[in-house]
Amino acid sequence: MKRISTLFLLATLGLAAGAAQAAQPDAGLTGCAAKRSAIENQLKIARDQGNSHQAAGLEEALRGVDNCTDAGLRKEREQKVLDAR
């Protein structure tokens, strides 16, 4: 019985890791382009899994990326670092 539980756990972790990796931005992208790519990848996963609520939130986030600038994104990240200190 313990062997079956271990196999189930490993299979579940493998699927979760695959989904998390698919949600990453495409290689070579930085800044707002990477942010858009990551959101688009997450949106595809949400749609494939039939998660309409998550897809709706991601569509809203994707519309917000239209206002993204690399300079603004950098400033937000620098502020987060300052706030963490």
Distance CA 65, CA 10 (A): 36
Give the pLDDT confidence of 12-52 residue by residue, as tens digits: 555 554 554 456 667 778 888 899 999 999 999 999 999 99
Question: What is residue 31's predicted lDDT score, i.e. its pLDDT?
Answer: 86
Helices H / strands E in the chain, number of each: 4, 0
Mean pLDDT, the chain, as a whole number?
80
pLDDT of residue 1: 53
Q: Which of 8-12, 55-59, 75-79 has the lowest mean pLDDT?
A: 8-12
In percent, how much of the chain has pLDDT > 90? 45
Residue-range domain boundaries for the chain: 2-84
